[in-house]
Amino acid sequence: MNSSLLRYTHYEQCAKALGTDALFLGDGLSAEQTANALNEAVRNSLEKRRSVVINALIGKTNFREGSISV
């Protein structure tokens, strides 16, 4: 299987299960909504002094088509 066939994975759920903060940014958000969500995540991370996982869907492209996943 090459990487162009991979499905989206909800890495933020894994992070939450391991006890850290996480954020999922799906499609359909405006640039302003995305910026607000990221700013809030950074602010919370700095206040809590802990990491945050940000899983941002960037859309499907064919730029990896033909590549080999290792």
Contact indicator for 44, 53 with CB cutoff of 8 Å: no
Residue 61 resides in a domain = no
Domain count, the chain: 1
Token pair recorded at residue 69:
């996943």
The pLDDT value recorded for residue 4 is: 60
The pLDDT value recorded for residue 62 is: 75
Residue 66 resides in a domain = no
Token pair recorded at residue 44:
């919370």
Q: Distance between CA 50 and CA 2 in Å, rounded?
A: 34
pLDDT greater at residue 6 or residue 50 = 50
Residue 12 resides in a domain = yes
pLDDT greater at residue 58 or residue 1 = 58
pLDDT greater at residue 2 or residue 8 = 8
User: Percentage helix, strand, coil, to 5, in the chain?
Assistant: 40, 15, 45
Q: pLDDT per residue over 35-65, tens digit each?
A: 999 999 999 999 999 999 999 987 767 776 7
The pLDDT value recorded for residue 66 is: 73
